[in-house]
Amino acid sequence: MKNLRGTYTVIITPFTEDGTMVNESMLRWLVDFQISEGIHGIIALASNGEFLSLSDEERHEVARIVVDQAAGRVPVVIGTAAESTTDVIRYTKDAERLGADAAMVLTPYYCWIDEQEIYTHYRLIAESVSLPIMLYNHPASTVLDIKPPLVARLAEIDNISYIKESTTDTRRVYQINDLCGDKITVFAGYLGYESFLVGAEGWVSVCANILPAKSAQMFELAVDQNDKDAAWDVFKELVPIIDFLGDHLYVHGMKAAFKMMGRDMGNPRPPRLPLPKSKESELRVVLEQAGLLDFELPSVKTAA
């Protein structure tokens, strides 16, 4: 079993030009690009991967392709979120059969359930597989909040080993570490650099889709080398991209960015629309300042 730590790219899902199919060639290219740039791990089928806009068959195919293309070179985490516990179990079992290294499970995102129901939801999922589970706490989207004392209860379940903590309250990181010790590893959601300062061992990064090397380097400097000043210098290079995407443009913006860089990942699926024209010039300036418009990307191989 691999120990998950470092910067993990939460990858987008490329679509064909008409949006009707997953673009397998581009998805395989994206996995290879991430690995060639030194990323520590890959997460597929999360919010940035538009999992709610995919059919069950497409979710299976994306998971299969990503695990296959990674081929053990880096850990692969598959998002298996659903509203129903039964559906989460089904998706998580599929991820395990495909050879994923872990499953990331968001709380239910429509029904309001209490703490005991959240606990039971995750317990039933964890007991259904041997795959490590990464809790995903994002109350801004789901309203449900996995607070540190509940994380500590969940950490007593054998294969609940990680949490993506996305409240933007960095106190949560050291509170979870204090309560859980080495039973659970905290990955930051939005606040990578800030969370590293208080004990996070990982970062789930959107900007790493187009800046994997810098995103991985920030972790290595901050955590492995304990060089916070050097990590800060790298972080400052990432901030313009992070800030641009932070305005609920993480899918739209990332797909538009790749297109400007010469790799067409298709448009987001409705209800999301392509990046507004009014935002394109702003994004182009951000990419230009980051040196990404002149960055030579690897070629794309046609899927067999």
> Which residues are marked as active site?
136, 164
Euclidean distance between the first and the last CA atom of the chain, given in angstroms as a whole number: 31
Backbone φ and ψ for 94, nearest 5 degrees, come out as: -65, -45
Q: Residue 299: left (phi > 0), alpha (psi -120 to 50), or beta?
A: beta
Half-sphere exposure of 43 (CA within 13 A, CB side): 34
Strands (E), the chain: 6-10, 41-44, 76-79, 102-106, 133-137, 160-165, 185-188, 202-205
Q: Which residue has the tokens 């299976």?
A: 60
Kind and range of the H or E run holding 253? helix 250-260
CA dist 42 and 11 (Å) reads 7
Q: Which helix (H) or strand (E) holds 25?
A: helix 24-36
Q: What are phi and psi of 121, to 5 degrees?
A: -55, -50
